[in-house]
Amino acid sequence: MNNRAGDKRAEIVFFGGFDPHYPRNAILRKGMTRCGMAVEECRVGLKRKVTTRYPALLWKYLRLAGGRKILFVPDFRHKDVPLAWSLARLGGHKLIFDPLVSRYETRVLDRGDISEGTPQSWHNRNLDRLSMRLPDLVLADTDIHASYYAREFDLPENKLRTLRIGFDDDIFGERRLPPETGTLKVLFYGSFLPLHGIDTIVDAARRLRGERINFRIFGSGQTYRQVEERAKELSPKLLSFHPPMAYRDLSRLIAEADVVLGIFGTTLKTQMVIPNKVFQALAVGRALITADSPAVKEIFRDGEHLLTVPPGDPTALAEALRILRDDAELRKGLAREGGVLVREEYNPRRVAERLIGLLREFDIR
């Protein structure tokens, strides 16, 4: 974003009780810094309740240096938007919200830990609506997710724009392919959400017993016990479970695999998101299989950048893995083409450049 003489760019202030190390936040901050933007934090701990978080955020905000600012509320911080909006209006600042998810969609429709029609369900839907109506600009990770926000929460579409997730190129870079061993090494890592559909992976593994394919699953979370029980009769040589891996070690873990698995759940969310692991695996240069969805089709071409299968279909997943086991050239081609696309278009600088373009479009400078 070129500045006219004397037109100093506003400072971006990441605001709220957010995790600065979460991939979306780290990628955006890194990219903005590389683009020459001034970035500051007004942050408190994730565990604080509103009653202590709001006063602490207000105190930190009042201690910020003067000047024009853009308040940026990062992912999952819906509850911090009202305070940010009040401070933005009082200070003459612009406000951007990057929710990444809808609380209602996540807790009611995907995780199912809140029942539809309950007061908590209403509360989460109302919080989504309020937090997305107040800002000057609301970001979504995919076009279909933006359309969902507009439809479900009565938002004007001219307030919504798409900003892809991308990957952290200081952690995930191209790595040499592992040596051929005759056995296809398959990796999944994640937090065992219904979105991930790990039961589909287990059922696919069951169909591949004795077929020179080995699955390693890293992580823990909501569905872990059910998935572990589902896999109890499978040999560890076929499928093994491992504790979560440190974020900085994921690149090495991906590099050891021939194929990385994305998500295979059957909830609405599967259709609307492209998870971090898709960008990360392709950036390292590994073939990837994930569920077919409108979100994935916004960026990637099946058979050129990755392979897709119907969500929740273990038979299709098993067959896709057989194809990649038996066709090393296809595997290498997916890794190459998917990797080039992601590394060129979704590195931190490119993601930040797109955000800067949105700031210009909305006259937020």
Q: What is the pLDDT of residues 12-30, one digit of tens each?
A: 999 999 999 999 999 999 9
Partners of residue 137 on adjacent β-strands: 96
Q: Is 62 helix (H, G, I), strand (E, B) or coil?
A: helix
- Pairing between strand 137-140 and 213-219? unpaired
In order, the DSSP letters of 179-222 are PP-SSEEEEEEE---GGG-HHHHHHHHHHTTTSSEEEEEEE-ST
Q: Give domain status of residue 2, yes or no.
A: no
Q: Give domain status of residue 6, yes or no.
A: no
Q: In what order do the strands lie in the sheet with 11-16?
A: 39-43, 11-16, 69-73, 94-97, 137-140, 160-162
For residue 174, give both structure tokens: 């191209």
- Dihedrals phi, psi of 87, to nearest 5 degrees: -70, -35
Q: Give domain status of residue 179, yes or no.
A: no
Angle between helix 23-34 and 348-361 (nearest 10): 80
Q: 212 and 156 in one domain?
A: no
The Cβ of residue 304 has, within 10 Å, a number of other Cβ atoms equal to 12
Q: 155 and 211 in one domain?
A: no
Question: Can you give the pLDDT at residue 68?
Answer: 83
Q: Are 98 and 75 in contact (CB under 8 A)?
A: yes
User: Sign of the C-alpha dihedral, residues 73, 74, 78, 80?
Assistant: negative
pTM to 2 decimal places: 0.94
Distance CA 146, CA 298 (A): 13
The separation between CA 218 and the C-alpha centre of its own chain, rounded to angstroms, equals 17
Residue 167 predicted with pLDDT over 50 = yes
Say how many domains are in the chain.
Answer: 2
Q: No. of H helices and E strands in the chain?
A: 15, 12
For residue 259, give both structure tokens: 């194929």
Q: 351 and 340 in one domain?
A: no
Amino acid at 132: M
pLDDT digits (tens, 9 = 90+) for 204-243: 999 999 999 999 999 999 999 999 999 999 999 999 999 9
Q: Are 198 and 227 in contact (CB under 8 A)?
A: yes
Q: Give domain status of residue 175, yes or no.
A: no
Q: 351 and 337 in one domain?
A: no
Q: 351 and 311 in one domain?
A: no
Q: Nearest-CA neighbor of 65 among 131, 146, 8, 123?
A: 8
Residue 186 predicted with pLDDT over 70 = yes
Residue 8 predicted with pLDDT over 60 = no
Residue 158 predicted with pLDDT over 90 = no
Question: Can you give the pLDDT at residue 363?
Answer: 86
Q: 281 and 189 in one domain?
A: yes
Q: 339 and 214 in one domain?
A: yes
CA dist list (Å): 122 to 5, 31, 104, 127: 49, 37, 8, 9
Q: 188 and 133 in one domain?
A: no
Q: Give domain status of residue 189, yes or no.
A: yes
User: Sign of the C-alpha dihedral, residues 94, 100, 105, 108?
Assistant: negative
CA dist list (Å): 211 to 138, 204, 289, 334: 47, 12, 18, 22
Q: Which residue has the tokens 């009042």?
A: 62
Q: 228 and 95 in one domain?
A: no
Mean confidence (pLDDT) of the chain: 94
Q: 148 and 93 in one domain?
A: yes
Q: 337 and 230 in one domain?
A: yes
Which DSSP letter does residue 306 get?
B
Question: Can you give the pLDDT at residue 134?
Answer: 97
Residue 252 predicted with pLDDT over 60 = yes
Percent of the chain exceeding pLDDT 90 equals 91
Q: Which domain covers residue 69, as residue numbers?
A: 11-166+347-361
The Cβ of residue 102 has, within 10 Å, a number of other Cβ atoms equal to 28
Q: Give domain status of residue 172, yes or no.
A: no
Q: Give domain status of residue 205, yes or no.
A: yes
Partners of residue 184 on adjacent β-strands: 213
Question: Can you give the pLDDT at residue 3?
Answer: 40
Q: Which residue has the tokens 């830990």?
A: 113
Read off the pLDDT of each residue in 319-340 and give the average, rounded to a whole number: 97
pLDDT digits (tens, 9 = 90+) for 92-140: 999 999 999 999 999 999 899 999 999 999 999 999 999 999 999 999 9
Q: Tell me the CATH number at 234.
A: 3.40.50.2000
In order, the DSSP letters of 229-261 are HHTTTS-TTTEEEEPPPPGGGHHHHHHT-SEEE
Q: Which residue has the tokens 């919504």?
A: 160
Q: Give domain status of residue 53, yes or no.
A: yes
Q: 69 and 209 in one domain?
A: no
Residue 365 predicted with pLDDT over 80 = no
Question: Can you give the pLDDT at residue 52?
Answer: 95
Q: In what order do the strands lie in the sheet with 287-291?
A: 239-242, 213-219, 184-190, 259-261, 287-291, 307-309
Give the helix/strand (H/E) hosting 335: helix 328-345
Question: Can you give the pLDDT at residue 2?
Answer: 40
